[in-house]
Structures are given as C-alpha cells and as structure tokens.
Amino acid sequence: MNLEVKDLFDAGVHFGHQLRRKNPKSKTFIFDDRHGVSIIDLEKTHACLEKACAFVEELVANGGDVLFVGTKKQAQDIVREAAEATQMPFAVSRWMGGGLTNFTTIKRSLEKYKKFLKMEDDGTLGKLHKKEASAIRREMSRMHRNFEGFMQVEAPPQALFVIDIKTEYIAVAEANRLGIPVIALVDTNSDPELINYPIPGNDDASKSIRLIVDTVTEAIQRGLNAREARMAEKAAAKAKAAVKQKPAEKATEAPAKQSSAPEAPSA
C-alpha cells in the first residue's frame, strides 16, 4: 500500500464529528478531542486501511467480488467511478431493502428491467400503446436508480465496501445477517464494532472519501491482476497436460495397429 500517514492528514481524514455526536465505541480510534471536535488517530487509520486492503486483495484474487455502497451525495460519483473502473457492482442512488437478504426477488426484478431495455433497443417499446409505453418508461426510470450498478450481478457479493455506516445501516445489517464481511469508512459518530474491517476516518469530506476509496480500489485492482495471472497459469498447466497426454495415447494405439496386420504365409 503506497500511502503514508501524511497523505491521510493532508486529505483531512483525521477530522471526526462534534463531541456531542461521538459514539462511545469509537473512542479506541480517537487521538484527542479539540475545540469540540474529535480528532482521529491516523496511525490507527493507516493500520486498519492496510489490513482492509490486504483482505480485499486476497478476496478478489480468489475470485470474489466487492459491492461498493455509497449513497450520500459526497460519495456517489467517487464510488461509481471506482466500481466501474474495477467492474465491481455498486449502489449509489439508494440501497434496495432486501438487496442481500432477498436476493432472489431482486434478481427477478433485474431480469424484468433487462427485458424492458431489450424492448427499447429493438423498437418493441415504441410499438406499444402510448399509455402503456409511458408507464413502462416510468418504471424503467425507477429501476435504473435501483439497478444501475447491478446489471452483471449473478450472485450475492463476497464483501461490501461501505462509505458511512450510519447512512447505509440497512446494507450493513443485511450483510451482518448473512455473514458477508464489511469494509467501511467509519466516522466517530458510528459504531466500529458493527464492521469486520473498519477504517476510522472522515466520511463527510470528498477529499477524505476519495483517498480511502482510491486506496481500496488499488487493492482490488491488484487482486484482479493476481486473479488473471492465476487463471493464465491454470490454463497453461491444462494445455501442457493435454499435450503430454496425446503422445501417451498414440503410444498405446501403435501396438494395436501392428497386431491387426495379416500374417505372412508359412513356407
């Protein structure tokens, strides 16, 4: 991880919330309280971020996917950009209740949305009655907000990466219920014990959010590179085994062909 404590300080990651909003369970990550504001211990932030990145990198290298969740205004564009760069699923407009715990129903709705998109592409939608087509387009607009980052999702993710667990408390609760690990940027007004890999830091400032998201994204990209390398090694090993098998098959076939030849007449 090519990130120093100074980089965290320059991005304002150390600024927590006002003291009246402090969650007592966040005390372990607080360096001091100054001028009515909690100051986060960036040494601990750095250590937690390093641990989270190591976990994410290994998870992705082994074929797992990470669902990005960040619906607050400051995080939406940053999260969308990072998820699209790594081809990971994301939720930035709103979290769909049951997005994890009721995944089967969500998947059926997603298939319906894909059907509508196909109708729009092939012109079928334009041939419908005006009132019916208008109703479908309104439903498509709503579905786009819900499914924007889920188009290629076939199964629940292996982990969640969340910005602001107070805002995304439903997503966190669903992940915890299913035993899905959660990595999250956690401010001083939140309970870090709800998260498997908390990253203590400012979850309100865009600069702070971007630095943390970019760092986790780099870890995901390293995991993707490792995944591709492992797949290439397996493919090469499989091809090599196939090449070795062919000469062995030919060797076993040769005696059979020889024995089928007619015997020479005796003198």
* 109-129 per-position pLDDT tens digit: 889 988 988 988 888 888 888
Give the orientation angle of helix 73-86 with respect to helix 206-259, to 10 degrees.
20
For residue 70, the surrounding DSSP H or E stretch is none
pLDDT at 251: 61
Indicate if the pLDDT at residue 96 is higher than 50.
yes
pLDDT at 124: 87
Instruction: Classify burial at 148, counting beta carbons within 10 Å of its beta carbon; exposed 0-12, middle 13-18, buried 19 or more.
Output: middle
pLDDT at 267: 44
pLDDT at 126: 83
- 131-159 per-position pLDDT tens digit: 888 898 898 988 888 888 988 888 999 99
Cα separation, 168 vs 148, in Å, equals: 17
Cα separation, 204 vs 187, in Å, equals: 8
Residues ≥6 apart with Cβ < 8 Å to 231: none
Indicate if the pLDDT at residue 191 is higher than 90.
yes
The two three-digit tokens of residue 77, written as one number: 């564009």
* Model pTM score: 0.85
Q: Which of 120, 175, 168, 173 is nearest to 144 (CA)?
A: 120
Indicate if the pLDDT at residue 252 is higher than 80.
no
Indicate if the pLDDT at residue 27 is higher than 50.
yes
What average pLDDT does this structure show over 44-55?
A: 97
Task: Give the least confident one: 78-82, 237-241, 243-247, 252-256.
Answer: 252-256
pLDDT at 26: 94
Indicate if the pLDDT at residue 208 is higher than 50.
yes
Cα separation, 5 vs 22, in Å, equals: 23
Which phi and psi angles does 48 have, rounded to 5°?
-65, -40
For residue 15, the surrounding DSSP H or E stretch is strand 15-18
Around 56, how many Cα atoms within 13 Å sit in the side-chain half-sphere?
31
pLDDT at 258: 54
Give the orientation angle of helix 206-259 with respect to helix 42-61, to 10 degrees.
20
Indicate if the pLDDT at residue 89 is higher than 50.
yes
How confident is residue 59, by pLDDT bands cut at 50, 70 and 90? very high
